Structure 1
């Protein structure tokens, strides 16, 4: 006796009273099949290769036009023993580790702490890398939004959400919607493939959850023929992501403070409108309530709505971060991006920052921060004994 449940049992994927034979009414090209999802695997690999070429050859010229430059960093003095400890054990030594390293290297506690702080700064991603990542996502989201809008603007369910459930699940799938699905699924698959090498930010865990939920949502909605509502979800999300990535691009450039401010305000407005108003009141409402006018609940109905709830929970989390940024923006105290411009594993104490990723919405004094002048003076020669002098010069530069 087979103890394992049948994964493709009808009660998992189809409403009560509907069988797989009913789906045979659709032509082969109009019916979504699980094996179609295999197309997303080579597409994900193709996106990885295309992104590499884009960030190598296309993003640098765009960055130069926007004035993107890497900040001058103070490098840690070569120390094989400290480097070995840093790479093999920990980049943040405890007090007992510092005592051990003092006896091992013959250095003072302050010298060791300074070396590890500078070494952590060396591992921070440069501005050009951040800009390349933001530019790649901007162009994809822009292309996906324009393409998605073009293939949905003339569909009845774009204007009337009840059309998403008319004759469900026996709904023909058009080829344009098939490729819209596969390209989005391949893109998010490529993000998961590169998750270990991309810049890790404060919301790294939430990003992983978001990508996984998106992949599961797209895959399941395709197999269960939730394609109509799925296309609306993708289009809604891409609209705000375009503005987010464009704001990052101008943030990394120089002389674009006002442009970044405007884009940030527009992004925050679109985010709250689409993610906190339209998404729960229209998308989730139609999947929870309006769909029940056509069929009775089944396992796929609950699973699909749970995934939508997970996305909505992430929206609330990011909305809280945006509100903090809006508050600092209105008070003129925002110097750092609460989410996008801070590395999660390399975050430094505020009092020990030698350089930071400053947002253009900060004050003009912050914009004119003269790090190269400081680094060309006593820092390179004797950073440990001149920390007080460096601090004074930083205040004067500001």
Structure 2
């Protein structure tokens, strides 16, 4: 089999739910390019002109404050991890004033609603409540800082070291390396949590036994809420729409909406065992997806066999296991455990929740099937297409063309501005522009 020339090993970009951008990879937040000397002079002259008012006095305090705010905003746009860091420091400082459970910030930093052990020497269990929203919100900020800092300060230099060229490809590489790092931690963490529960190994009957599951161990609750923070952070950046939508943008948005709905409803109505299983199937498959994309960008020799492994993991976890869960919703949901709606006893496993759960999981499965179709098409093209050619993804090719056009337009704009500056009249006499004479001036003699 002949490997493609001058591009990634698979020839195209692999689709999936790890394509959500970060603030540091947005087109509008790209590193500031050096300006031309003429443009720098214009900016300097404008700054000096704004530094004085009409009377020639120094600019007012209001203008000085506005200038500081503009500089701070520009700095936050250039270093996208700075603002989340400052917010974290501020919130942690509020907690440091009174580091006790009575401090409202305690519920944002630590797990809330601890319950005494059910058995002597047993683990402390944690209930659920509104304070958990503060926990999710705080760690959404923490994950925002972690993501942006790692991508800008660690992964971007790594991309340069690995020879990744092009702004679009560099952005994709940064996104996938961080995603692989995150799920490389939370994938095994989820398996550890499942191992400590009765759910091991994807036992669908245990999802409904002992319902409602209102209390959990610390590791279970922390894992569930931290995952909620991760997907909330992803959705916020995705919904900003600060970059050109990719071809599967609608499916990606739909996936995030369904995921957040499943997280919120499963936690509120105590279907967390089912949610844990869905979490794990997506976390592990996302790790293989992100690492497969990373190897693809690096044009590594193991890309093809690793991609085949990824396809097997994807089909097993996202389709076999999740279809097994869907079948359990249709069958065991009614027969295992109580099946009634009682708000006082928090019994929510009834026909309404059954329809909602099945609808959301089926919608998630439909999106995953769409991505599976794209993945299998990539695999088929690689296996059966023996023509060695530069068959890069449409997104990468379009980005390279757009970058070249933007660079050409920028140079043309600067050249036109410099030409107009040289040709434009400098003097105005009686309201009419008059070209400035550049030759030596001579005094006229009176006859």
TM-score band, normalised by shorter chain: 0.5 to 0.7
User: Alignment partner of 2:148: what SS?
Assistant: helix
Pairs within 5 Å for 1:306-317: 306-317=359-370
CA shift, 1:302, in A, is 1.9
Cα 1:42/1:336, change in 2 over 3 Å: farther
Aligned to 1:90: none
1:217 aligns with 2:270: no
1:275 aligns with 2:318: yes
Cα 1:170–1:50 shift into 2, 3 Å: closer
The separation in 1 between residues aligned to 2:390 and 2:313, in whole angstroms, is 22
Match of 2:163 in 1: 68
The partner residue of 1:141 within 168, 174, 183 is 183
Cα deviation digits, residues 334-383 of structure 1 (max 9, x gap): 96576xx726xx848xxxx8699xxxxxxxxxxxxxx9xxxxxxxx9xxx
- The equivalent residue for 1:250 is 295
Which residue in the other structure is 1:304 paired with?
357
- Comparing 290-299 and 268-277, the one that deviates more: 290-299
Please name the residue that 2:153 is paired with: 57
**Paired residues of 1:32 and 1:225 also in contact (CA < 8 A):** no
Distance 1:34 1:284 in 2: 29
Deviations 1:95-137 (A, max 9, x none): xxxxxxxxxxxxxxxxxxxxxxxxxxxxxx4322211111111
State the aligned residue count.
272
Q: Retained in 2: the 8 A contact 1:30–1:172?
A: yes
1:156 alignment partner, SS class: coil
Q: 1:170 to 1:130 in 2, by over 3 A?
A: closer
Against the structure 1 CA distance between its residues 192 and 170, is the aligned structure 2 distance closer, same or farther, given a 3 Å change threshold?
A: closer
The one of 231, 235, 251 equivalent to 1:206 is 251
RMSD of equivalent CA atoms: 3.1
Tell me which residue corresponds to 2:379. Answer: 326
Q: CA deviation at 1:25?
A: 12
CA–CA separation in structure 1 for the residues paired with 2:244 and 2:310: 21
**Aligned mates of 1:326, 1:347 — CA distance in 2:** 22
Alignment partner for residue 131 of structure 1, among 164, 173, 185? 173
Judge which range, 202-211 or 172-181, deviates more: 172-181
> Given that residues 47 and 186 in structure 1 are in contact (C-alpha distance below 8 angstroms), is that contact kept between their aligned partners in structure 2?
yes
Give the match for residue 128 of structure 2: 32
DSSP 3-state at the match of 2:251? helix
Gaps of 5+ in 1: 1-23, 72-124, 357-370, 372-379, 381-398
Alignment match, 1:292: 334
Aligned residues of 1:68 and 1:128 also touching (Cα < 8 A): no
Tell me if the contact between 1:218 and 1:230 (Cα under 8 Å) persists in the aligned partners.
yes
For 1:313 and 1:210, how far apart are their aligned partners in 2? 10
1:138 touches 1:241 (CA, 8 Å); kept in 2? yes
- Kindly indicate whether the alpha-carbon contact (under 8 Å) linking 1:268 and 1:322 is maintained by their aligned counterparts in 2: yes
Please identify the structure whose Cα radius of gyration is greater. Answer: 2
Task: Report 1:98-109 matches (<5 A).
Answer: none
Mapped contact 2:126–2:217 kept (Cα < 8 A): yes
**Cα deviations by residue, 1:9-32 (Å, 9 ceiling, x for unpaired):** xxxxxxxxxxxxxxx999895332
Measure the CA separation in 2 of the matches of 1:158 and 1:164.
10
1:227 aligns with 2:272: yes
- State the Cα distance separating 1:62 from its structure 2 match: 3.1
Equivalent residue in structure 2 for 1:189, among 223, 229, 232: 232
Report the TM-score, using the length of structure 2 for normalisation. Answer: 0.55
Q: Which residue of 2 aligns with 1:178?
A: 221
Cα distance in structure 2, aligned partners of 1:26 and 1:291: 29
Q: TM-score, normalised by structure 1?
A: 0.62
Q: Which has the higher helix share?
A: 1
Q: Which moved more, 1:169-178 or 1:137-146?
A: 169-178
Match of 1:79 in 2: none
Give the match for residue 392 of structure 1: none
Change (3 A) 1:217 1:321: same
Query: How far 1:61 sits from its partner (Å)?
Result: 3.9
